[in-house]
Amino acid sequence: NPTRSEVDLLPTHLAYVIYTSGSTGLPKGVMVEHRNVLNLWGALATTALHSCPSSSRVALNAALSFDASVQVIVQLLSGHTVVVVPSEIRINALAMGAFLHEQRIDVMDCTPVQLDILLEKQLLLRHVLVGGEAISSDKWDALAASTTTQFYNVYGPTECTVNATLTPISANGRGPHIGRPIANTQIYVLDPHGQPVPVGVAGELYIGGAGVAR
């Protein structure tokens, strides 16, 4: 367990490199620094997971080749227990339900396509982070109606360290949306000239702040 001074480790040093096709369609390695990862951890700890006691058990559902795994691994910093979901269980809906029950999982992350088993089995999960693809209006309403689990919609490209925005899924009359920026993150909607668009006008999403990788 070396100290920071022994290894001369700085927040700007590399934490990991992960490959993604991103918006270009061409594979590229995204270089994420320690400061980027710690900002993600702090943002989750003060929002979606702020009420989770240190005894919480968190399922590592995403493969390590998927950056969503990072948001679970960092839960070790909060004293939570990280439980790895075996790959053969991850692809079997019935086995997944039994695994989450047997392992007494409190928190997990998943994609919208995995949500059906959670809703059908009425598992007693405290918090579920949903990301990776858009949530349909019908599924959004079903998640908002849950009385046992608080679901969160998280959005972000790999280049911005997993999540850039977050919102609790609630029945407030709004349809599916990506929420607001997490801590130390700025979101801009710009036109082709790089200028902010008026309210209600479509544009391209730009992200800045502490989560942006090298």
Q: Is residue 8 part of a domain?
A: no
| pLDDT exceeds cutoff 80 at 155 | yes
Q: Is residue 189 part of a domain?
A: no
| pLDDT exceeds cutoff 80 at 2 | no
Kindly give the pairing relationship between strand 107-110 and strand 127-130: parallel
Task: Please indicate whether residue 175 or residue 152 has the higher confidence score (pLDDT).
Answer: 152
Domain count, the chain: 1
Q: What is the pLDDT of residue 138?
A: 92
In percent, the amount of the chain with pLDDT more than 70 equals: 99
Q: Is residue 93 part of a domain?
A: yes
Q: Is residue 87 part of a domain?
A: yes
Q: Is residue 4 part of a domain?
A: no
Phi–psi pair at 99, nearest 5 degrees:
-65, -45
Q: Which domain holds residue 148?
A: 37-184
Task: Please indicate whether residue 147 or residue 181 has the higher confidence score (pLDDT).
Answer: 181
Q: What is the CATH number of the domain that holds 94?
A: 3.40.50.980
Tokens of 105: 């999982």
Would the pTM of this model clear 0.85, i.e. be above it?
yes
Q: Is residue 58 part of a domain?
A: yes
Q: Is residue 83 part of a domain?
A: yes
Q: What is the pLDDT of residue 5?
A: 79
**CA angle at 75 for the pair 72 and 78, rounded to the nearest 5°:** 170
Q: Is residue 29 part of a domain?
A: no
What's the whole-number mean pLDDT along residues 120-147? 89
What's the whole-number mean pLDDT along residues 6-35? 89
Q: What is the pLDDT of residue 22?
A: 64
